[in-house]
Structure 1
Amino acid sequence: MIELIDVWKSYRSHRTGLQNQILRGVHGRIRKGDHVGILGRNGSGKSTLMRLLSGVDNPTHGIIRREMSISWPIGGSYGLQQVATGATNARFIARLYGTPVQQTQDFVEEFAELGRYFYEPVNTYSSGMVSRLLMALSFAVDFDCYLVDEALSTGDARFAAKCRHMLEVRRENAAMILVSHNAQHVRQYCDTAAILRNGMLEFYEDVDEAIAAYQGL
């Protein structure tokens, strides 16, 4: 289970020196097997919430309880070593999460489809190649809960379809939290949904009701 208890998050503005309040007393509970979509406009705090859930950042106030393993936001570049090769990054992930090193490297190499570039430094990759590596690394570990942050249309149509299929496979035995502007993605992958607005989460049991409320904002 993941539980958010009165979670607040603010950042100090470098320009004004004032605190910019992003999240305001967020409460929520996600259990293993839940598939929750989070809808929110640009600047509503979706990415901030994902960083807090994954443990990349900490709340200013409040508590986040994590009683299951949680991925970093799928497709996000958290922890990616730019001067290392794709293969080295795969081995690093394997050691970090305790998965078989060679098996993990082989999975990432096959999934990313980078050819010889898999053994070249990441800082020589194109943006599309980086996206492929990131998606492969994200799926290389079986987590109890997957965080998905606007990453379902990565790369060309064929590779994006491959990613969506892998997400379907992973979600069969895991929870998922998906943040997206795309109501269709939320409808396709999620059983419940929430709207993030004014720094707070509003949960809806019915996905279509949540989508209608979001589109009416």
Structure 2
Amino acid sequence: MIRFRNAGKAFRSRRNKRELVWPLRHFTATIVQGESTAILSPNDSDKTTLIDLVAGTETLTEGEIVRTGHISWPASFRGMINPRMTARQNLRFLTDAYGHDFGAAYEFVHDFTELGRQMDQIVRQCTNEQRHRLAIAMLLAMNFEFILVDETFEAGDMNFRRKVTQFIDDNQDRITFFMATNNARLAERYCQRAGILVDGTVTFFDTMTEAVAEFRRYRKEDF
């Protein structure tokens, strides 16, 4: 469970240091396991702030966030992988840190990424596409109950994306997404509930269809 209670985050305005800018304020909501939730927002910084607050890399200005369960690092965060280590060494570190069996995790990542011998290659020597595959596979191997997504969860070539989609479909009973994105299609694909974040305020809708339609209308008017 991820519970927001009157949560708010403020930053000093770049134009006027005495002025506070609130990318999120008075946010109260509960994200429960089994109900993947998307927060749709056209503002990139607001989306990142929300996910960083849940991940604990940003602190609230007011209110609180209560977290229970096994929550991932943000899916777009590449800092969990040390480019000076091999994929195998990185995975060993993560399984030790999160208390998982290395053998099972290695077998999963090896098969899922199809990297073969490159699992023993220094990560910085891998292509960007290979690094994307590795990052997603390592995240999935940790068996998180909640997966945090800042903007997108799609990486790699089309075959790898299909593999990820199939894995999520097969494991819907144990994976819950909390994502902040401007990609309405992604939200529709993976989530059952959505709200729209504009000017620091989140408004939830009764159905995904309503939320996505309103967001697309808002973006069309905005541009």
CA distance in 2, matches of 1:22, 1:50: 12
Matched residue, 2:26 = 25
CA distance in 2, matches of 1:99, 1:145: 16
Deviation track 1:93-151 (CA, whole Å, cap 9, x = no partner) reads 11111110121122122212223222122222222121111101110011221223333
Of 11-20 and 79-88, more deviation after overlay is shown by 11-20
Matched residue, 2:115 = 114
Paired residue secondary structure (1:8): strand
Please say if residues 152 and 160 of structure 1, whose CA atoms lie closer than 8 Å, have aligned partners that are also in contact.
no
- Are 1:3 and 2:7 counterparts? no
Please say if residues 44 and 199 of structure 1, whose CA atoms lie closer than 8 Å, have aligned partners that are also in contact.
no
- Are 1:170 and 2:192 counterparts? no
Deviation at 1:86, TM superposition (A): 0.9
Matched residue, 2:216 = 215
Deviation at 1:17, TM superposition (A): 5.5
Structure 1: give runs of 5+ residues left out of the alignment.
Answer: none
Q: Residue type matched to 2:65 in 1? A: I
CA distance in 2, matches of 1:31, 1:155: 29
**Structural mapping, 1:80-99, within 5 Å:** 80-99=81-100
Matched residue, 1:126 = 127
CA distance in 1, matches of 2:23, 2:213: 24
Deviation track 1:165-185 (CA, whole Å, cap 9, x = no partner) reads 122233322322133323222
Matched residue, 1:146 = 147
Q: TM-score, normalised by structure 2?
A: 0.87
Please say if residues 44 and 198 of structure 1, whose CA atoms lie closer than 8 Å, have aligned partners that are also in contact.
no
Matched residue, 1:184 = 185
Report the CA distance shift for 1:134/1:200 in structure 2 as closer, same or farther (over 3 A): same
Output the aligned Cα RMSD: 2.2
Deviation at 1:64, TM superposition (A): 0.5
Q: Residue type matched to 2:8 in 1? A: W
Please say if residues 55 and 74 of structure 2, whose CA atoms lie closer than 8 Å, have aligned partners that are also in contact.
yes
Deviation at 1:79, TM superposition (A): 2.3
Report the CA distance shift for 1:17/1:122 in structure 2 as closer, same or farther (over 3 A): farther
Deviation at 1:14, TM superposition (A): 7.7
Q: Residue type matched to 1:58 in 2? A: T
How many percent of aligned residue pairs carry the same amino acid? 30
Deviation at 1:54, TM superposition (A): 2.1
Report the CA distance shift for 1:68/1:115 in structure 2 as closer, same or farther (over 3 A): same
Paired residue secondary structure (1:171): coil
Paired residue secondary structure (1:49): helix
Of 15-24 and 58-67, more deviation after overlay is shown by 15-24
Please say if residues 83 and 122 of structure 1, whose CA atoms lie closer than 8 Å, have aligned partners that are also in contact.
yes
Matched pairs, number: 217
Deviation at 1:91, TM superposition (A): 0.9
Deviation at 1:190, TM superposition (A): 1.6
Please say if residues 47 and 151 of structure 2, whose CA atoms lie closer than 8 Å, have aligned partners that are also in contact.
no
Of 172-181 and 6-15, more deviation after overlay is shown by 6-15
Please say if residues 154 and 160 of structure 1, whose CA atoms lie closer than 8 Å, have aligned partners that are also in contact.
yes
Matched residue, 1:196 = 197
Structure 2: give runs of 5+ residues left out of the alignment.
Answer: 219-223
Q: Residue type matched to 2:97 in 1? A: L
CA distance in 1, matches of 2:119, 2:10: 38
